[in-house]
A and B are shown apart, each in its own frame.
Chain A
């Protein structure tokens, strides 16, 4: 007699299982199938092509009514199972009860809904089934605004599908790069770029605060205040196993329904498979392992021994034109090594993670043709020791035996292209070398090879070496750091000319040799990007040195010093009182007058910082940026208001300058001095910028130094007008911000570009000067803010304290 098998859920996993069951033994079971969706099994993966219009629903049905009839399956579609009576071996729906000898739970998973206001408004959908898909198709056809929350696999397929239908789509992603579980930042950057090029707006690092709308969704509000209009909102932030009936039936459930290797739950008559299960602490979200489960479960149902062993799976994105491949573990760890290949010109990034001589992780973008080859090497644990040097070039290069890169270059025909940007072939370079160009610079000057993006520099050098033999001495790379051969100057130039607007973008397009940079290049890149794209780039706090990250100077014992601003060195009794109160309240070990005309509170504990800032803020005191590569102090003397020799209001000018310039970030620190007469009591002539007031107006001089070097300033301009003096100074600072190498003080930068070059721009060309001032103002609209006020906001202040304290516990 046939036994009774009840299956809950007609999805991908149970569908495959039924196919195997009827193949293996069509007479073993009478099958009754329940499905919450009002239809049988279809290929859920293919909802994305349905959404984008490349397929129809009919195309993706896997089991139609005829199939179920032919195999004698009793179907109840649109009918959810609501309870399991394990004693009586019966399941219950709202319409009927059905007995089983064996029960299979295959309920899949449920989309995760983030708990924000407005989440239940009409117009908010998830992406799981045909109903969701149809809702999104409508939005696209009607050309509406759609917002997708979640930049993972599902969210991006939803976004691309709706965009293909004509919707105007924005993707909001919480993390800093897309698909962070499958991709590293470099590949995430390329993906973002490709999506943007097809009109999809991508907002990374965005936390959703609420969905706005009265009767239906109208817009999405982010924590940072950004609002995106949205006629339709698709939440695709993740899934969780659908375990409710199992929980109610008191079957063992952790994150998913717990199954053993035979896919049996804690009840011997009940099995489970698919996304609803947890096997050896692992959950599943892709179909490949579920298909393996289907095979194993059939054996278990037929009383044969079988064990489920998950294999690693690879991820691809089903968005036409976005070619990515990811598999295995790509975290950096001890004993692991990376092989990185970047081809900025063609937008290609490939990275293999090796442990010993085996591949354990793969991330590819742009060209994934070799993905499956790498993947099989990884799955099989193949020893790749012999092909390590050329492995990244794929199977086409593995001709047997090791390939010497030099031989490979030597073997290239003369017409082989070396420099893609300038279209320079090998023959042209060889010609230049034979004609006497024996240095890289000479080859560059004559042929332009490697003169643009520079990524072929290594190749050009190899051609030179192949031509010159031992006579060729490779130049010592003048790179910013060991992560790149590009100099600071090159990087600055390329950031502007190529429109690079994020750290991963710079690292990819300029062929960084490391994955995420180092402590030397990251702060520099962070500055270059915020200086060049003030409104678009967001400051990366974790790429800053400790002082700038914590807005205070770290001391040798790990405490901090706090220096509030005293505009132009002027203070008031109320400010002094607030400083005195704070010094007492926080037990400040030392209060010192600095060399910059203000007061320093030294020896403050990190967790007290937000509190002392809040107290100082209350008295109107803001950060003095005594820690920043930015505007520090404007020293002044008393000037004509009080001094018998004073010619102009030097104190007033100093205060005006400081109020205009404060908060700005610069390549190195910037200090100013304004003296009221040539007696120069403010020591203006050894500052980055100095002003000496005279009867006829203002003498501006720049590029002084009084630190590790001592140097008098050089005259830049004289003007009778205070306003013009301010304009010239502002333009000078902006020119410095836009051009100098990170950590070059103004005097070093001026020495490199020449004072005449500077004068041409900020003194002789009034249009250029105004443009510089305008760009400075745009930047200041973002940065002329007190960082202390931001960080001492009450919801932030907890972050400065330890996250756990075991000393307290011990004392209790």
Chain B
């Protein structure tokens, strides 16, 4: 079952930017696109661990800041010639608040 937890307000994330959510399993990058959609991805690039949260957001893609791999945030899949995938988390925006699927961070949250 999917349990959604509140992580903050949409307004806390700059448009075309990202903020982090820290969990026991590592950081999750929460992105906001130009048209106010929200995506959540593991903040570790599968290439060499670059912090995706610091990448440039364009459309529904983000470019890793370290060596420019480009990821489709819908799937977490690297695009173009690069091969790799990052984990994604379901998100919802309700009344200006961001909710994120907690099932994968539940271990720490439930404590």
Residues of A within 8 A of B (CB): 175-176, 180, 184-185, 255, 330-334, 514-519, 522-523, 541-546, 549-550, 554, 556-558, 799, 802-810, 812
Contacts and interface: CB of A to CB of B under 8 A. Distances in A.
B22 A542 contact: no
Given A176-B15, A546-B54, A554-B51, A332 B21 contact: no
Interface in B25-53: 27, 30, 33-35, 37, 48-51
A803 B60 contact: no
A526 B56 CA distance: 13
Interface of B: 7-8, 12-17, 19-24, 27, 30, 33-35, 37, 48-51, 54-61, 63, 65-66, 68, 70, 72, 74-75, 95, 105, 107-109, 111
Contacts of B17: 541-542
Nearest to B30: A803
Contact of B109 (A176, A557, A802, A806): A806
Nearest to A254: B95
A514 B61 CA distance: 12
A329 to B, nearest CB: 10
A809 B108 contact: yes
Contacts of B58: 514, 516-519, 522
A799 B72 CA distance: 25
Given A799-B19, A805-B22, 13 more contacts: A333-B37, A516-B58, A519-B63, A519-B70, A541-B17, A546-B65, A549-B54, A554-B65, A557-B49, A802-B21, A803-B8, A804-B22, A806-B22
A806 B109 CA distance: 6
B60 A332 contact: yes
B56 A514 contact: no
B20 to A, nearest CB: 4
Nearest to B77: A334
Nearest to B75: A334
A541 B51 CA distance: 17
A47 B60 CA distance: 39
B59 A516 contact: yes
SS class of chain A's interface: helix, strand, loop or mixed?
loop
B54 A807 contact: no
A785 B49 CA distance: 33
Nearest to A184: B35
A554 B14 contact: no
Contact of A334 (B13, B50, B57, B60): B60
A316 to B, nearest CB: 20
Nearest to B72: A334
Contacts of B66: 554, 556
Nearest to B63: A519
Contacts of A809: 108-109, 111
Nearest to A176: B15
A810 B22 contact: no
Contact of B33 (A332, A514, A804): A332
A514 B60 CA distance: 12
Contacts of B20: 802-803
A542 B65 contact: no
4 closest cross-chain pairs (CB), A and B = A334-B74, A519-B63, A542-B16, A810-B108
Given A803-B7, A804-B8, A518 B63 contact: yes
A334 to B, nearest CB: 3
Nearest to A802: B20
* Residue from B17, B30, B56, B111 with most neighbouring chain A CB atoms (10 Å): B56
A522 B56 contact: yes
Given A546-B65, A554-B54, A515 B21 contact: no
A180 B60 CA distance: 17
A519 B65 CA distance: 9
Contacts of A519: 55-56, 58, 63, 68, 70
B8 to A, nearest CB: 4
Contacts of A180: 35
Contacts of B68: 519
Given A546-B55, A803-B8, A810 B60 contact: no
A717 B12 CA distance: 52
B14 to A, nearest CB: 6
24 contacts: A176-B15, A184-B34, A331-B33, A331-B60, A334-B60, A517-B58, A518-B61, A519-B58, A523-B56, A541-B14, A543-B16, A545-B56, A546-B55, A556-B49, A557-B49, A558-B50, A803-B13, A803-B21, A803-B30, A804-B21, A806-B21, A806-B22, A806-B105, A807-B22
B21 A542 contact: no
A336 B10 CA distance: 24
A178 to B, nearest CB: 14
A331 B24 contact: no
Given A542-B14, A542-B56, A804 B63 contact: no
A545 B67 CA distance: 11
Contacts of B51: 554, 558
A64 to B, nearest CB: 41
Contacts of B14: 541-542
Contacts of A805: 21-22
